[in-house]
Amino acid sequence: MNPTALVDGMTWTDPTCPVARTLDIVGDRWSLLVIRDAIDGARSFTDFQQRTGVARNILTDRLRRLVDRGILRREPAASGRRQVYVLTDEGRDFFTAILAIRQWGERHMFAPGEAHSVVVDEAGRPLAPLHPVDVNGDGVDMDTTAVIGRG
């Protein structure tokens, strides 16, 4: 995807902040759930509608926006009669962000022992918690980092 094409015509909430720019693109509940479900294997409009329960008109809008913004692309279904939605490289790269949100939710949105879904590796083992590290692999957090370049 051409990064300047995405920027052209966009009005950014905070032009210098990557978080704000990302939220301008995917920062509503339904967009994030569509991306989550695409990561989990949803492909058709019906898949997304059944998994999320979102109204058809809202889903149509979110799928269009995610395609327009290069997170999903449309491809012909195997039958050739419909279109399916597939994550682009940019969409696949969102996996880590969805995983971070999921892991935060596991820690803070469920009572101890309360059942919830879990992401597992190919051997069926739960994934280790994500932890940010610096270029040397040392752990960092909000007390050991700073944002620079913000006007």
Based on the structure, what is the number of domains in the chain?
1
Residue 125, pLDDT score? 97
Q: Specify if 148 maps to a domain.
A: no
Residue 80, pLDDT score? 86
Q: Tens digit of pLDDT for each residue in 103-130?
A: 999 999 999 999 999 999 999 999 999 9
Distance separating alpha carbons of residues 39 and 42, to the nearest angstrom: 7
Percent of the chain scoring above 90 in pLDDT: 85
Low-confidence residues of the chain, pLDDT below 70? 1-9, 151
Q: Tens digit of pLDDT for each residue in 72-82?
A: 999 999 988 89
The CATH number of residue 14's host domain is 1.10.10.10
Q: Specify if 103 maps to a domain.
A: no
Q: What residues make up the domain containing 40?
A: 3-95
SS3 state of residue 59? helix
Helix (H) / strand (E) element for 26: namely helix 18-26
